[in-house]
Structure 1
Amino acid sequence: MDRGRAGGALVGRLLRLVGSRPLTSYVVMTFALSWVWFGLALGVWGLPLQGAAGFLGTLLGPCLAGFALTALLRGWAGVRHLLRRLVLWRVAPGWYLIAVLAWPALLVAAVLALPGSPQAGGPPPVLSAAGFLGLYLSILVFGGPLGEEPGWRGFALPGLQERCGPLVGALLLGVLHGTWHLPIYLLIPGYNGAPPGLAAALGQFLLFVVGVTAGSVAVTWLFNNTRGSLLIAVLHHAATNTAGIVVSAVLPGTAVLPALGEVRLPLQIAAALLIIAATRGRLSYERYRRETAADGPWPQASGEPRGTTSPAR
């Protein structure tokens, strides 16, 4: 009986800690679960990242942490709310076009603008529309977007915007999201075009984190303009992951990888700065707050444990 009471007291303290530090709890849980899995799957067992190993890394980290903490802090009502955001499709059609097509189109334009870049030409694209759609959906499901966004944007972003403001929240989330990929760079030689050698790989990784941080500004802006639609975030994430394939298909006569290496990061930073300037650093956060006010405060925004109530702000 004493052991039962001691165990209950420990669980109670843990719940209070998570309730008072939900964002910290999310980060610790996400990194711990994913990094342990990546260490085993990639470092010990030597499994390929593409496929089950990578998909489970996202499910066991960002996704599981986001849903588990939502359930803990808000119960099944919170879980259903998070799931509804994942299928929130009733947004203006223009936001779909921006989420899916804007980034690949910008990359194509930037590659064509490079001095000495060959124009589109050469053999016709070998990837049919159906083939590209299948590849896009495969990357959407197994390449990270569907597994990551319920946690990063579904759980963490609303709280970070509430606590830190939209711009700082978006930048902080980008740093965390980018840093989360560190084991992949260390365990997979040449990942994402990283040069051989630890120092060179870490240098490439730091550039990647800068790019993800800049990209987080764009995703936050999309999120805030679509009532927090995780579907839009997932579609945009998948579009960025397949953008290189789009450039290869549109410009088959272009040396795509070297060109993308030149334009991707400057373009990410330029797009982020343009959004920041156009929204005065608010990233349309007031619109998000206004259109989601009826939902009440998210648990990670208020820091309240399940069962408490607070007026919508």
Structure 2
Amino acid sequence: MTASHARPAAPGRYRNDLVLFMAIAFALSWASWAVAIGIGGSSTKPPTLAFHVFGAFGPLIAALVIRIRRARRGEPVPEHAVRFRPAALGWTPLLLALASALVLGAAFVAHAAGGPAPSLEDAKDVMTTYPGGPVAFLVNILVAGPLAEEPGWRGTAYPRMRASLNRFQVSLILGVIWAVWHMPLFFIDGTVQNQLGVTSPSGVLFAVSAVPMAMLVCYAYERAGVLAAVAVHFATNLTMVLLSVQAPVTQAIVMGVQLIAAVVLLATVRPAGRPVADGPSLPAIPANRGAHVR
């Protein structure tokens, strides 16, 4: 049975898919990260590195399971899944630039409010001193976060949740789930989360920041699908790391700017079109080294 002739999936089917997706994503990620915590040592060095990186792919593996399961049952894609279209190639760089500009602009506002100044030299140091050089750094930022997560959180969970919730509700709920999913990273030595500290103001703000960032990424998905969601996730992580955004005042202002932008964008977005697929399935490419960001 082809997707065009299949009956619409019942709401209960979406709920079952969501439960299975969440169970697989959390089980794989948390089990892998638990091993990394038990082994000890830095997340940038073997053998801890392998379990740290593998844990990031929990959402992608869960998404593949759900997609294979749907295809075997001959079920249609969810009504709110955003298909890949050539227009996405035009939106993607624009959304990437917007996501980076929001963080950069907020960092300058924070500096005016008494926070640390954004430093180009610090950004150069991060890239040039990274093991493997700038290319390895960029590959790690792209793979260990956006590519490993977005086909799952946005490409799979989001459209199924939209069957019964509006985009604001889904964005908020996914943001909270996203924050909880990241919690074990606070206990793995060498990660950005561990450096912040789970009970420190910076650590708490990092966890809370998952909500406005999820709203932005959900907007990108509704606008142009998984590819755009990957771009916004990547640009945000990259800019945050290059600017070393860890001061509470800077984190708070970045969150505020992202929240305002996300609310406005989500209120005005028109989805990219009727779905014909779950979105592009992105391959799980192993990361080289470095801490998983978000």
TM-score normalised by structure 1 residue count: 0.67
Structure 1 match to 2:69 = 72
- Say whether 1:137 aligns with 2:144: no
Structure 2 match to 1:173 = 174
Structure 2 match to 1:209 = 207
Task: Name whichever of 159-168 and 67-76 sits farther off.
Answer: 67-76
- Say whether 1:234 aligns with 2:230: yes
Q: 1:166 to 1:20 in 2, by over 3 A?
A: closer
Give the CA deviation at 1:162. Answer: 2.1
The answer as to whether partners of 1:217 and 1:272 remain within 8 angstroms in 2 is yes
Tell me the distance in 1 between the aligned counterparts of 2:41 and 2:85.
34
Q: 1:79 to 1:241 in 2, by over 3 A?
A: farther
Report matched runs for 1:1-12 at 5 Å.
none
Tell me the distance in 2 between the aligned counterparts of 1:152 and 1:162.
15
Q: 1:225 to 1:52 in 2, by over 3 A?
A: same
Q: Secondary structure at the match of 2:88?
A: coil
- Say whether 1:293 aligns with 2:274: yes
Q: 1:44 to 1:293 in 2, by over 3 A?
A: same
- Say whether 1:110 aligns with 2:106: yes
The answer as to whether partners of 1:104 and 1:246 remain within 8 angstroms in 2 is no
The answer as to whether partners of 2:146 and 2:233 remain within 8 angstroms in 1 is yes
The answer as to whether partners of 1:145 and 1:238 remain within 8 angstroms in 2 is yes
Tell me the distance in 2 between the aligned counterparts of 1:108 and 1:266.
11
Structure 2 match to 1:43 = 37
Structure 2 counterpart of 1:219, from 217, 233, 236: 217
Q: 1:134 to 1:168 in 2, by over 3 A?
A: same
The answer as to whether partners of 1:62 and 1:150 remain within 8 angstroms in 2 is yes
Give the CA deviation at 1:204. Answer: 4.7
Q: 1:55 to 1:86 in 2, by over 3 A?
A: farther
Q: Secondary structure at the match of 1:238?
A: helix
Structure 2 counterpart of 1:273, from 249, 260, 265: 260
> For the aligned residues, what is the CA RMSD?
3.8
The answer as to whether partners of 1:174 and 1:215 remain within 8 angstroms in 2 is yes
Structure 2 counterpart of 1:30, from 13, 25, 29: 25
Q: 1:19 to 1:262 in 2, by over 3 A?
A: closer
Give the CA deviation at 1:193. Answer: 6.1
Give the CA deviation at 1:268. Answer: 2.3
Tell me the distance in 1 between the aligned counterparts of 2:177 and 2:251.
20
Tell me the distance in 2 between the aligned counterparts of 1:222 and 1:123.
29
Tell me the distance in 2 between the aligned counterparts of 1:78 and 1:121.
50
Tell me the distance in 2 between the aligned counterparts of 1:204 and 1:67.
34
Aligned residue identity for 2:258? A
Give the CA deviation at 1:206. Answer: 3.7
Q: 1:47 to 1:140 in 2, by over 3 A?
A: farther
Report matched runs for 1:115-130 at 5 Å.
115=112, 125=124, 127=127
Structure (1/2) with the larger helix percentage: 1
Structure 2 match to 1:152 = 153
Structure 1 match to 2:165 = 164
Give the CA deviation at 1:232. Answer: 1.9
Give the CA deviation at 1:78. Answer: 8.0
Task: Name whichever of 260-269 and 235-244 sits farther off.
Answer: 260-269
Task: Name whichever of 173-182 and 203-212 sits farther off.
Answer: 203-212
Structure 2 match to 1:97 = 94
The answer as to whether partners of 1:62 and 1:152 remain within 8 angstroms in 2 is yes
Q: 1:212 to 1:86 in 2, by over 3 A?
A: farther
Aligned residue identity for 2:32? W
Q: Structure 1: where are the runs of 5+ without partners?
A: 1-16, 248-255, 299-313
Aligned residue identity for 1:54? H
Structure 2 match to 1:263 = 250
Give the CA deviation at 1:18. Answer: 6.9
* Identity percentage of aligned residues: 21
The answer as to whether partners of 2:14 and 2:160 remain within 8 angstroms in 1 is no
Tell me the distance in 1 between the aligned counterparts of 2:209 and 2:122.
31
Tell me the distance in 2 between the aligned counterparts of 1:207 and 1:123.
22
Tell me the distance in 2 between the aligned counterparts of 1:44 and 1:72.
33
Q: Structure 2: where are the runs of 5+ without partners?
A: 1-11, 280-294
The answer as to whether partners of 1:220 and 1:283 remain within 8 angstroms in 2 is no
Higher relative contact order (CA closer than 8 Å, sequence separation 6+)? 2
The answer as to whether partners of 1:88 and 1:231 remain within 8 angstroms in 2 is no
